[in-house]
Copies of this chain bind each other. A is one copy, B any other.
Amino acid sequence: MNDTGLLIVLSGFSGSGKGTIMNRLLSRYPEQYALSVSATTRQPRAGETEGKEYFFKTKEEFLRMIEQNELLEYAQYVDNYYGTPKTYVKEQLEAHKNVILEIEIQGALKIREQFPETLLLFVTPPSAEVLKNRLTGRGTESEEVIHSRLVRAVEEADGCEVYDYLVINDDLDACVEEVHHIILSERSRMERRLSTIETIKNQLKQYVKGEK
């Protein structure tokens, strides 16, 4: 097929394994996926490379990017800005790569406003109990820490019903394959293949008319 890649948002609970799923997809199918590289105003840490972990920007540069509508979405944490540059994502999509963004629901909805064809996947452990156990860790955390993680989990899932898929991460390997196949299958959805069927239908009509 001659189509571009898909833009995919992977969200989910902290502890759902979404980061691992993303990394596995990239290492198993490097020719099919690209990670989105974020822009940030925070200082590079030791070992971080421009254009790999992040595109490092000054605050002035970042504000100019916002102003010129060069970001798909952005957010501010503490004193730093983080955002997804449009150009990089578009280049990857045009190179037939599926681009995965690991962001939260609010950012996902902003992206879908601009690119309605964005695919939204929400990852969850198989049950609340499993999630709680993962968040509780080795039993060394204070009740306060555990409580605040549970509060965060409730917030993380708020509004996830608008997502396209709910991916249940029970077995990691099976889950990575499931996500991969969801993405492959989505490429065959009729709304993404309207031009293909249109071409076939027009050609058939020409055959009937005897024009070709």
Interface on A for B, CB 8 Å cutoff? 1, 122, 124, 127-129, 131-132, 147, 150-151, 153-154, 157, 160-168, 178, 181-182, 184-186, 188-190, 193-194, 196-197, 199-201, 203-205, 207-208
Contacts and interface: CB of A to CB of B under 8 A. Distances in A.
B166 A207 contact: no
B190 A164 contact: yes
B168 A178 contact: no
A182 B124 CA distance: 21
B147 A204 contact: no
A198 to B, nearest CB: 9
A129 B124 CA distance: 45
B127 A200 contact: yes
A138 to B, nearest CB: 18
Contacts of A205: 154
B127 A207 contact: no
B197 A160 contact: yes
A186 B192 CA distance: 16
